[in-house]
Structure 1
Amino acid sequence: MQFQFHPLTRKEATELISWRYDRPLDIYNIKVDTDSLQNTVDFFVDPKNSYFAISSDLHEFTAFCCIGADAQVPGGDYSLDALDIGLGIRPELTSQGLGSPIAIATIDYAKQSFSPQRLRVTIAAFNFRALKVWQNLAFLPVQRFRKQNGGNEYLVFIRNT
């Protein structure tokens, strides 16, 4: 399967905001009220925030990734120089074996576009499927922390490019 990356469009950002995951993955649901909808869309399409749509032959808007500081979770130690990657798959396409192929494509895209020495991902400790995907791609755990304000526990993984 081939994947293509491009900056999120306004249409895709609006669609992304409407994605709804079941528990326990509902922590990834974007909570927006009608008053802040436009600001949220503006944030996702602002090039400085580095959000990208991922399309495939399976679905026009299969997943998204963010590259850089917005992929970090408050409370973690991100002092080591590495490029952060965040990834989200369309809810109805989860549990279909797409995690690894999309993660591999995202790694390749990040390496080609940003030429980092290291890549880093931060994953909720309960998200066993995502943990397995990234560990199978040679990412090694370097940190465990609880999100600021008593939130969920997260693991940080790093891999040299």
Structure 2
Amino acid sequence: MKTITKQAAKKIVKWKYEPPYSMYNMTNDLENIQELTDGSYFAVYHNYELVGYFCYGANAQVPSGMHKGLYLNQNLLDIGLGLRPDLTGKRKGYHFLNTGLTFGELNYGLSSFRLSVATFNQRAINLYKKAGFSDVATFMNKNGDKEVEFIVMVK
């Protein structure tokens, strides 16, 4: 993995997930490009092809979870991830997730992780539980004009 380049960021913001996962779609604007290239996001390549990304730290936290104080434990590394839409649902997630966990442990020195996932995303929740994550809290977060429930999970 390596930090996301502007070229990779421009590809990622064009990824389009089908409903209900479309809430993970980004807009192709300068703000998203700048966030993706701020040094906390890392691109994952397979055979020189961009297949996904991970982010670590504050950018992996959901705003309402921050306001509720759910990310105060500094002994946990927050992790966020995105797998290219055409690769989702094809049993590639476990290996992909473990790649990000190993990278996080080696580069941030923490072996305990925290992530937040929308409760409707049962596919991801099942993956995280298989990888050893467990639920610790739930909260609501505004996404556009609707409220979405999230679960905070730790490993």
TM-score higher than 0.5: yes
- Larger mean CA deviation between 120-129 and 72-81 belongs to 72-81
Q: How far 1:39 sits from its partner (Å)?
A: 3.7
Task: Select which of 141, 145, 151 maps to 2:147.
Answer: 151
CA RMSD of aligned residues (A): 1.5
Task: Select which of 105, 111, 120 maps to 1:111.
Answer: 105
In structure 1, give the amino acid aligned to 2:132.
A
Alignment of 1:8-157 (within 5 A): 8-32=4-28, 37-47=29-39, 50-57=40-47, 60-76=49-65, 77-81=70-74, 82-148=76-142, 151-157=147-153
Secondary structure (helix, strand or coil) at the match of 2:78 reads strand
Q: How far 1:31 sits from its partner (Å)?
A: 2.4
State the number of aligned residues: 148
Give me the whole-angstrom Cα distance separating, in 2, the residues matched to 1:39 and 1:80.
28
TM-score by length of 2: 0.90
Give me the whole-angstrom Cα distance separating, in 2, the residues matched to 1:133 and 1:20.
21
Give me the whole-angstrom Cα distance separating, in 2, the residues matched to 1:21 and 1:71.
19
Aligned identity (percent) is 30
Q: How far 1:45 sits from its partner (Å)?
A: 1.0
Post-superposition CA distance 1:79-120 (Å, at most 9, x none):
122110001000011111111100011000000010115210
5+ residue gaps, structure 1: none
Give me the whole-angstrom Cα distance separating, in 1, the residues matched to 2:100 and 2:153.
15
5+ residue gaps, structure 2: none
Post-superposition CA distance 1:44-88 (Å, at most 9, x none):
1122xx00101113x610011111111111111211221100010
TM-score by length of 1: 0.86
Give me the whole-angstrom Cα distance separating, in 1, the residues matched to 2:32 and 2:99.
26
